[in-house]
């Protein structure tokens, strides 16, 4: 069994207006991850991911690619903090 991982990922590049959040949510749900994804006013996309470490790592790989029309130029990963209220995976409003 894989260890549980929690991370905050910030994605930069052409990631807004290209379906990145919806595709991210679909992939996270397919992998059985909990968390959220949202746009930031600075043009980045931010996501909190929680789940088996192997699935979180697979999601990080996917986030470098994103949907076909995205162009990811930078992916920053930081340890996440427990968000006990998060169940499932949701798209949150822009911050």
Q: Given this structure, which CATH class describes domain 4-83?
A: alpha beta
Tens digit of pLDDT at every position of the chain (95 positions): 578 899 999 999 999 999 999 999 999 999 999 999 999 999 999 999 999 999 999 999 999 999 999 999 999 999 988 665 678 999 999 99
Catalytic residues: 21, 39
Q: How far apart are CA 95 and CA 25, in angstroms?
A: 17
pTM: 0.92
Q: Where are the domains of the chain?
A: 4-83
Residue 73, CA atoms < 13 Å, CB-side half-sphere: 7
Q: Which residues contact 52 (CB under 8 A, 6 or more apart)?
A: 1, 2, 3, 4, 5, 32
Which pLDDT does position 81 carry in this prediction? 80
């Amino acid at each position: 069994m894989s260890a549980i991982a929690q991370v905050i990922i910030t994605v930069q590049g052409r990631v807004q207006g290209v379906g990145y959040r919806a595709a991210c949510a679909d992939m996270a749900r397919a992998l059985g991850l909990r968390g959220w994804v949202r746009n930031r006013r600075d043009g980045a996309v931010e996501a909190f991911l929680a789940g088996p470490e192997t699935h979180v790592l697979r999601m990080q790989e996917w986030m470098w690619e994103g949907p076909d029309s995205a162009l990811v130029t930078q992916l920053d990963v930081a340890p996440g903090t427990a968000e006990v209220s998060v169940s499932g995976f949701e798209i949150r409003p822009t911050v």
